[in-house]
Amino acid sequence: TPIIEFKHVDKYYGKFHALKDINLKINEGEVVSIIGPSGSGKSTLIRTMNGLEKINKGQLLVTGYDLADKKTDINKIRKNVGMVFQHFNLYDNHTVLENVTLAPKIVLKRPDDENKKIAMQYLEKVGMVDKINSYPRQLSGGQKQRVAIARSLAMKPKVILFDEPTSALDPEMIQDVLDVMRYVAEQGITMVVVTHEMGFAREVSNRLIFFDAGHVLEDRKPEEFFAHP
Ligand code: ADP
Ligand code: ADP
């Protein structure tokens, strides 16, 4: 059974038709890359998956909840669905460690000892243990993004959405972040990644969606995509 399912979904910004009759199923553990021109609606598409953008028509089922249903508690979905942004969205007034422990403490009420232990495990995975007491302003873009991914992982979500996670980084930082994303994929977490990184799309994702003008143009395995451009 799919963990994310779009059924005839439409999204408008005023009169602008941003998502056009989207029908899409994503299964648990899949790593899906979404590529396509700027302004085609990629960001809108993934932002609907955790309720950051509301849909106007159709059904959108995410981890068993219908985002089109006004009675659905969006916080329940967000416990299951993490998000990594282009511009990191870290809490500037909190240390690296606090950035990772805050949501599990408040949202999951995870006890402090266990919370810190889990945070440290993920900070180690992303190579940020030596910066736990630093503030975001003291970090490079690549370091900030690795903290953002650790923060997402610490919630132990079923799905992580990535909205152009490497687009704001200096070129020399990109590979470190992609390596961490590969680690996330290996954990069996379902990933939906808007990206321009064709290497990641080809080597790590098992599905590639080409998006254009508000709809899915192609939806294939990467090997098929690259074999028949
Ligand atoms: P992409 O991620 O592919 O660059 P977006 O989803 O960001 O595309 O945007 C798709 C289209 O919707 C663009 O034309 C953009 O200007 C428009 N758009 C995005 N967000 C809004 C918004 N909040 N209000 C109005 N138009 C928007
Ligand atoms: P990014 O490159 O990170 O997607 P954008 O500059 O496309 O950032 O969008 C930043 C914010 O502005 C988003 O919240 C998006 O929804 C909003 N936005 C984008 N295009 C428009 C638009 N044409 N009108 C109003 N808001 C928009």
Cα(18) to ligand 1 centroid in Å equals: 7
Cα(44) to ligand 2 centroid in Å equals: 9
Cα(39) to ligand 2 centroid in Å equals: 9
Task: Specify the residue with its C-alpha closest to ligand 1, atom 2.
Answer: 43
7 exposure class (CB count in 10 Å sphere: 0-12, 13-18, 19+): middle
52-109: per-residue pLDDT in tens? 999 999 999 999 999 999 999 999 999 999 999 999 999 999 999 999 999 999 999 9
* Phi and psi angles of residue 71, each rounded to the nearest 5 degrees, phi first: -80, -15
User: Which of the ligands is closest to the CA of residue 20?
Assistant: 1
Residue 205 · residue 31 · CB < 8 Å: yes
Q: Does this complex have an ipTM over 0.90?
A: no
CA R_g for the chain: 17
Phi-psi region of 8 (alpha: psi -120 to 50; beta: other; left: phi over 0): left
Task: Specify the residue with its C-alpha closest to ligand 1, atom 24.
Answer: 13
Identify which of 137, 112, 115, 128 has the alpha carbon closest to the alpha carbon of residue 183. Answer: 128
Separation in Å, CA 39 to CA 36, 48, 81, 100, 212: 9, 16, 24, 32, 9
Per the structure block, which two tokens stand in for 11? 């999204």
197-229: per-residue pLDDT in tens? 999 999 999 999 999 999 999 999 988 877 755
16-51: per-residue pLDDT in tens? 999 999 999 999 999 999 999 999 999 999 999 999
148-177: per-residue pLDDT in tens? 999 999 999 999 999 999 999 999 999 999
What is the reported pLDDT for 225?
78
Neighbours of 198 (CB within 10 A): 14
* Phi and psi angles of residue 217, each rounded to the nearest 5 degrees, phi first: -90, -40
Cα(41) to ligand 1 centroid in Å equals: 6
